[in-house]
Structure 1
Amino acid sequence: MDIDMKQKGFTTLTVTLVLVAILAAVSAFIGKVLISDRRITSNEIEYRVAFAAAEQGIADAIAALNVDVTTPAVSGSVTTSQGVAIYSVAMTIGSSALNIIDIVSTANLNDSIANIMVQAAERNILNPGIGEGPAAPLLVGGASTGISGNMTVVANPNGGGPGVAVSVWSGDDIAGSGSMQTCHLGDYDPGSGNCSDSISEKQGGTVFFDSDVVDNDSDFPTDMLEYMFGYSADEWDRLEEMATAILSSCAEVIPPGFFIVDGGGTCDLKDVGSSSTEPVIVLVKDGDVVANGGDKFYGIVFSFDSNLTDATEFNVQLNGGAQVFGAIATNHGGDNLNGTFDVVYDKAIICVFSDCDETGGGGGGSSIVTIRHIPGSWKDWN
């Protein structure tokens, strides 16, 4: 009897010990799994924080390049509940291609490291696709082209290609009353506003247009906004991103830079205060443009009608021998370009806003150069 009880007790003890051992093993396994899972989760969180810090580095780098395109590196840190993530960014200009900046951001938090590489490019205001700016100093779009008054136009000597001068460019026949003379810069007297030797002339009904006046041209851009800036009206937000400022009046313009005036009023060019050293591009949206005798404007003025199908018309009226050194463009045509004025193609001014300088550069910190991320260049793997 005692032997049976002892055997039963021993068996019970053995089973109990086995169960305890199994439970201990299971508990140890579960604990190990939980610890491992926690470590994986912690590592994932730390990596995500490091990755966010690397993204912060990219943003800081682009901001720094917009101030000074020669900036070689930036660094910083991000403090989180997981610790302090430290990032460092190296910027290399021109290693991949002209005007292309390789940006490599590395961030670490504890043992987690994140790397991001992205490319950016210097982007001038004018459409890079048109090279040295607009083909002519006077571009008139719209369904009809009426130019009234008395004007002198100094040609772009290479507007139609090397050595091919272009003064006026339009998609329709140029009509209207008044007179017009075109010439090369060397034959233009800025004091009198006259040409000593004309290329083309129009005196009332008598027209002597040479090849520098390109009208009724089937190749004239159907979207002048896209031609000038590389963005159509459907991409207006991107155009606004490039602007130095969006203003309600030309009186608020502080040169230099690119300004969108969207106040619906009249832009008086004398209020702009531009100069040969501080030129501007003024995009006047749905408003009139005026200038008077003695007014001088340096840069590009673009009169933009955002709705060509409605009855509202906008005028560009430059009077009394006002002078524009750069270019005038309108997308609405009609008989709304008039007055007595000179428009003089000035390559030095146009090149401030375009890609004339084949060596690149221009640099950040400029009101006419922006550093923009190149879509598709983002890379976060080795």
Structure 2
Amino acid sequence: MHKSNAFIHHVRGSAVLMVSIILLIAVTLIIIITARVGALDQQISGNEFRHKEAFANAEAGLEQAASYLSANPSLHQGDADDGWASCTGLTAEFPCTIVGAQMVFATVTSSAITSSSVNALAAMPDADAYLVKTPFGTVAVGQGVSDDGTGAAMAQVTFSQANLLLTSDELPPLMVPSGDLSGNFNVVPNPNGGGPGIPVSVWAKDTLDTTGSNWKTCDHGEFKDATDICMDTKGDGVTGDDWQGCSCDIERSNSTDVTADIVLYSDADFPNSPFAYVFGGEDDISAADVVTLKAEIKARAQATGLVLANCTNLVSEFANLTTSALVWVEGNCLINSNITVGSRNKPMILVVEGEIRVNAGAETWGILVGLDDFVLNGGPVIHGSAISDIESDLTNGTYSQVYDESVLANLREEGINTEMTKMQYSWRDFTP
């Protein structure tokens, strides 16, 4: 009996010992696994941190490259004289590894890219900024590393060059859907508005009433102040005499003799929106797309031009604008008598959401686009084009509408009429 009890106690002791050993092994394994998981988590967290750090630096480099391109849009032409170097023989060198890379804006020596020309302007720690020319556009590239140098990342966006305006050769001095040509006004036509040597004074629908009062059109050489040809003798918006004494001498068209320079279209052939036509929209653009285009043009004005509530300070605000010619007015625009807005060398693209009213004695240089009522009182002079998006009788009065090739040519200047735009879906954070 006593031996049986001793045996039972012995077995129980062995079981306890075995369980203790198993538990000890399990705890040890758990500690080891936990330590390894903790170390792995630390590695993952460290890798994520270094990647985020490197990616933030890459995005900083990308932003620097994009900003540099925006400030120097002529680089989009890929002229070697501007500092572009060929990627020939450098296809294994970043960023010439980018698909389609033809040139890189960088210093290249001994078949190696030694430094980015963008970096040379303003170097950033742990980031490089590059520009790469491809057949698809200009690629802004940012390359970044983490502070310890073990993490790396890149980001890129492709930019293309877009024109703000339709070519001025295709703009008439006066474009209005319909209304009345009334008043004693003068229009000097675009001499090539209908093609080389084919002058155009007015584009409108064939419902335009041309029988009002004593309006007339004439060529540049016949727009005179007494015997002086005004284009040769009057001021440019900064210096020289005003244009108030100028009028048509020998007429091309008038209220009783409408000739080919007054171009009238059927409703189906006239652009749905003159505003959209000016800014490159399709002739048959839908109403919804017009709304979208207006938002885009306003956003461009917000980004590089001016967005004003009204025209109270238009002259001074525009005088200080150097990055663009585009001014968007959200309300009404009153251009008072005897003031000059813009000049031949610094013309304006003015878009007005509300009523635009130009009073007697005022001179404007550029393109005026009215989205609502367009009113010309007395005898203002508009050098460029007047575009009304809605039916209007804007020609009431004794004003002069003068097509000035230099004004429109200056609006085609690359720094004014072009901008770099991101190509949709071109952003990526890897090298394909």
Rate the CA distance shift 1:269–1:333 in 2: closer, same or farther, 3 A. farther
Tell me, yes or no, if the aligned pair for 1:251 and 1:272 is still in contact at 8 Å: no
Map 1:218-367 → 2, pairs under 5 A: 218-229=268-279, 230=281, 232-243=290-301, 244-253=305-314, 254-255=318-319, 257-268=325-336, 270-293=338-361, 295-305=362-372, 314-320=373-379, 322-354=380-412, 362-363=414-415
Q: Where in structure 1 do 4 or more consecutive aligned residues deviate above 6 Å?
A: 1-12
Give how far 1:16 is off.
4.4
Tell me, yes or no, if the aligned pair for 1:76 and 1:86 is still in contact at 8 Å: no
Aligned residue pairs: how many? 344
- The letter for the 1-side match of 2:127 is Y
Q: Normalising by structure 2, what TM-score?
A: 0.69
Give how far 1:9 is off.
6.9
Rate the CA distance shift 1:271–1:48 in 2: closer, same or farther, 3 A. farther
Tell me, yes or no, if the aligned pair for 1:96 and 1:102 is still in contact at 8 Å: no
Single out whichever of 282-291 and 175-184 deviates more from structure 2: 175-184
Find out whether 1:137 has 2:186 as its counterpart.
Answer: no
- The letter for the 1-side match of 2:184 is N
Instruction: Compare the two structures and name the one with the higher strand fraction.
Output: 1
- Which of these residues, 80, 90, 99, is aligned with residue 130 of structure 2? 90
User: Hey, what does 1:311 align to over in structure 2?
Assistant: none
Aligned counterparts of 2:130 and 2:27: Cα–Cα separation in 1: 55
Rate the CA distance shift 1:301–1:269 in 2: closer, same or farther, 3 A. farther
- Which of these residues, 19, 24, 29, is aligned with residue 28 of structure 2? 24
- Which of these residues, 105, 117, 122, is aligned with residue 156 of structure 2? 117
Give how far 1:3 is off.
11
Matched position secondary structure for 1:282 = strand
Tell me, yes or no, if the aligned pair for 2:276 and 2:293 is still in contact at 8 Å: no
Aligned counterparts of 2:131 and 2:171: Cα–Cα separation in 1: 35
1:28-72 residue CA offsets vs partner (Å, 9 max, x unmatched): 233212321332233224323433343333334333433343595
User: Hey, what does 2:65 align to over in structure 1?
Assistant: 61
Rate the CA distance shift 1:15–1:76 in 2: closer, same or farther, 3 A. farther
Matched position secondary structure for 1:240 = helix
Q: Unaligned stretches of 5+ in structure 1?
A: 78-84, 306-313
Rate the CA distance shift 1:352–1:54 in 2: closer, same or farther, 3 A. farther
Aligned counterparts of 1:179 and 1:118: Cα–Cα separation in 2: 57
Q: Normalising by structure 1, what TM-score?
A: 0.76
Tell me, yes or no, if the aligned pair for 2:312 and 2:334 is still in contact at 8 Å: no
Instruction: Compare the two structures and name the one with the higher helix fraction.
Output: 2
Find out whether 1:173 has 2:207 as its counterpart.
Answer: yes
User: Hey, what does 1:309 align to over in structure 2?
Assistant: none
Give how far 1:285 is off.
2.1
User: Hey, what does 1:182 align to over in structure 2?
Assistant: 217
Give how far 1:101 is off.
2.7
Rate the CA distance shift 1:296–1:63 in 2: closer, same or farther, 3 A. same
Identity %: 25
Single out whichever of 153-162 and 372-381 deviates more from structure 2: 153-162
User: Hey, what does 2:180 align to over in structure 1?
Assistant: 146
- Which of these residues, 12, 33, 39, is aligned with residue 35 of structure 1? 39
Aligned counterparts of 2:190 and 2:41: Cα–Cα separation in 1: 70
Give how far 1:113 is off.
1.7
Q: Unaligned stretches of 5+ in structure 2?
A: 76-104, 106-116, 224-228, 235-244, 282-288
- The letter for the 2-side match of 1:245 is L
Give how far 1:228 is off.
1.8
Aligned counterparts of 1:319 and 1:158: Cα–Cα separation in 2: 29
Give how far 1:299 is off.
0.6
Single out whichever of 188-197 and 114-123 deviates more from structure 2: 188-197
Give how far 1:4 is off.
11
Aligned counterparts of 1:119 and 1:221: Cα–Cα separation in 2: 32
Give how far 1:187 is off.
4.4
User: Hey, what does 2:140 align to over in structure 1?
Assistant: 103
Give how far 1:7 is off.
9.4
Give how far 1:195 is off.
4.5
Give how far 1:162 is off.
3.9
